[in-house]
Amino acid sequence: MRVVILGGGPGGYEAALVAADLGAEVVIVNDEGLGGACVLWDCVPSKTLLTSAQAFSTLEIAPNLGVHFEGTTRSDEVPRYEVDLPTIQKRVRKLAQDQSDDIRRRVVDDGVRLLLGKGRIVDPHTVEARLVEGGAERLEGDAILVATGSDPRRLPTAPTDGEVILSSQDVYDLKEVPERLVVVGAGATGAEYATAFLRFGSEVTFVCSRDRVLPSQDSDAALVIEDVFERRGLKAVKNAKAAKVERAGGGAVVHLEDGRTVEGSHVLLTVGQVPQTSGIGLEEVGIALDGKGGVVVDGVSRTTVPSIYAAGDVTGKLMLASVAAMQGRIAMWHLLGQAVAPLRWDAVAATIFTDPQIATVGLSEQQAAKANIDVEVESLPLAGNSRAKMSNQRDGFVKLLARPGSGTIVGGAIVTGYASDLIAPVSVAVLNRLTANQLTQPFQIYPSFAGSIQECARRLANRVQGHYRY
């Protein structure tokens, strides 16, 4: 089998690894470093930036833990810290490049051929690659995988200039910390950048189109983050839709639809991503797009053209690196004759890397209510967890959702510093349809945050299944 992959992000390169492993001849056409936007511009840079922000949180609680800094003596005296943004930016870029190089080495070691250039589908079995080094190459494949990702949504009335009015990818060109940053769009990306720049000392104003930040998240989790933001001085302008953004004086002004204005030294637009489907020959070969511009795919990543699969943000589904990678792997397992089940949309895990983080998996309470699915919910604040007390983390909780009667775990939410790692056992439970009782059985470390997952499961099992034995 010969497979041609268009795009080298997690959707593309993870598929390439699977296909090569199964003996296929694989070529990836990618127009930038391997890892794609995920590694070079989005996930990896933003999480690296947030790691620097996290260091400020650690410093902030240090006096409380009995660690004093030169010149300070009292436990309530918080020393002044300085942000060295150029050093942070340099680290972000180097780390992203290193990660991209590591992926490239792994993929090449597995026998995958890489072409640096722009690809375009010319017929259901052929891609034409215009190479960066000059010239073009026609690549024939038994199958093609489209994994071209997405681009930041642009608003015609809010043109970004890379200096004052910024897209998420412009953040890494900033030379100084914005004095007054207005973040338009209160979803995951906006909340993560707000977290970082609050820590770096910016005065941050959030323009939220709804009545709260993170409107599509578990509402209890969003409330915790909103409370933390407020305590750190973030101003939220709610029920506010940006109509226009323009430069004014040395900064910029956001004009809201209702006539209000919000001014800042910088404006960051985090209003979503759009699937990258243009100019790559999709419609010409008969690939259907949905109403939002994403490539229509089924559960095993097939498009409407039999030899062409699609994976990742280009499908416009849940725009997450982990989903892109899974869609890509499933496509190759299906193509290459492996036993494969359709992607389980009801078991997807996701994290918002605010401080504390919000990690979720499966069904949320809101989704269950909307779909009229009966669920039993148990929630446990982390304030009582001994590990949380030791770490001085007082915000956060564990929440589990189970089906009444069977006690099958169908969802969970965790809010705490390491929620992105802690969600793993709940994710295993949701995917494998374990019951709350089964989640109480594995040994957990004492003391640990994970102990609260088990405690929450125990309470849920007692209530729903009624046969938990101590």
CB of 11 to ligand FAD, least distance (A): 3
Among 205, 276, 277, 416, binds ligand FAD (CB under 6 A): 276
Measuring CA to CA, which residue among 38, 126, 45 is closest to residue 313? 38
Determine if 43 is a binding residue for ligand FAD (CB under 6 A): yes
CB 159 within 8 A of CB 17: no
Among 48, 89, 148, 427, binds ligand FAD (CB under 6 A): 148
> Which pair of structure tokens corresponds to residue 277?
């489907």
Stretch that binds ligand FAD, among 33-41, 155-163, 259-267, 329-337 (CB under 6 A): 33-41
Q: What angle do CA 463, 467, 470 make, to 5 degrees?
A: 100
> Which pair of structure tokens corresponds to residue 365?
């309470």
> Which pair of structure tokens corresponds to residue 148?
């071209």
Determine if 312 is a binding residue for ligand FAD (CB under 6 A): yes
For 411-454, give the DSSP string.
EEEEEETTHHHHTHHHHHHHHTT-BHHHHTSS---SS-THHHHH
Total interface residues for ligand FAD by CB under 6 A: 38
CB 130 within 8 A of CB 232: no
CA 275 to CA 303: how far, in whole Å?
15
Stretch that binds ligand FAD, among 38-46, 66-74, 200-208, 225-233 (CB under 6 A): 38-46
Per-residue x/- track, 393-432, ligand FAD (CB under 6 A): ----------------------------------------
Determine if 100 is a binding residue for ligand FAD (CB under 6 A): no
CB of 157 to ligand FAD, least distance (A): 21
Q: Are strands 357-362 and 349-352 parallel, antiparallel or unpaired?
A: antiparallel
Closer CB to ligand FAD, 24 or 38, in the complex:
38
Determine if 160 is a binding residue for ligand FAD (CB under 6 A): no
CB 190 within 8 A of CB 212: no
CB of 110 to ligand FAD, least distance (A): 17
- Give the DSSP letter of residue 389: H
Coil, strand, or helix at residue 332? helix
Per-residue x/- track, 173-192, ligand FAD (CB under 6 A): ----------------x---
Stretch that binds ligand FAD, among 136-144, 179-187, 312-320, 363-371 (CB under 6 A): 312-320
Q: What angle do CA 415, 199, 227 make, to 5 degrees?
A: 45
Stretch that binds ligand FAD, among 9-17, 67-75, 302-310, 376-384 (CB under 6 A): 9-17
> Which pair of structure tokens corresponds to residue 182?
């207005």
Positions that interact with ligand FAD (CB under 6 A): 6-12, 29-32, 36-38, 42-43, 46-47, 118-119, 147-150, 168, 189, 273, 276, 280, 312-314, 319-322, 324, 353
